Amino acid sequence: MPKLIKNGEIVENIYHWQQGTEEAATTNSIVPAQKWLAEKESIGSVAGIWLEAGDGVEFLQDVDLNQFQVIGINFPAFTDGRGFSYARLLKERLNYQGEIRALGNFIPDQLGYLLRVGFNSFQFNEEVDLEKALKLHKPFSIAYQGDVSDPRPLFMRR
């Protein structure tokens, strides 16, 4: 399995991102969230679910998300920023505590912002030099706005 960045380290990826709907899910699978919600009884235990851009998070509001080890958010293109709001809403609105994984076509230069909205693991689509990507983790040492690690804007900390 390819490696990924998780919590600032390069680690083995133990989960399988299930993209085709025909595949059978296993306990290591990250399955499409809509599909999981529709068929959760038959799907059984999985590692987590993933959101497609356009899904939003509202349809998950009655689900106990903390049953999942991981929730993935797909970036169909790195310029599609919907996932930035989804991650934040998962954390701040739906109180999800587990791993939030960026999937798809995001790029290493987005790591700084992705981390600030709640992502903590990164599974790159293309061949990316993870050592180099890690160096782009924290382009700024401070921020004006609050974020998931500290909700207080700078004016509360200045």
1 near 13, Cβ under 8 Å?
Answer: yes
Closer residue to another protein, CB minimum distance, 31 or 117: 117
Q: Residue 41 CB, nearest distance to another protein (Å)?
A: 29
Q: Residue 12 CB, nearest distance to another protein (Å)?
A: 25
80 near 53, Cβ under 8 Å?
Answer: yes
Closest CA to 102 of 63, 152, 112: 112
Q: Residue 145 CB, nearest distance to another protein (Å)?
A: 6
43: left (phi over 0), alpha (psi -120 to 50) or beta: alpha
- Strands (E) across the chain are located at 3-6, 9-12, 16-17, 29-32, 48-51, 70-75, 99-104, 121-124
Closer residue to another protein, CB minimum distance, 45 or 85: 85
Backbone angles phi and psi of 34, in degrees to 5? -60, -45
Closer residue to another protein, CB minimum distance, 42 or 141: 141
Closer residue to another protein, CB minimum distance, 42 or 144: 144
Q: Residue 29 CB, nearest distance to another protein (Å)?
A: 26
Other residues' Cβ atoms within 10 Å of the Cβ of residue 69:
16
Closer residue to another protein, CB minimum distance, 8 or 153: 153
Q: Residue 52 CB, nearest distance to another protein (Å)?
A: 13
Provide the binding-site residues for another protein, judged by CB under 8 A: 53, 56, 78-82, 84-86, 88, 93, 107, 109-110, 112-114, 116-117, 132, 139-147, 151-156, 158
Residue with tokens 């999942």: 68
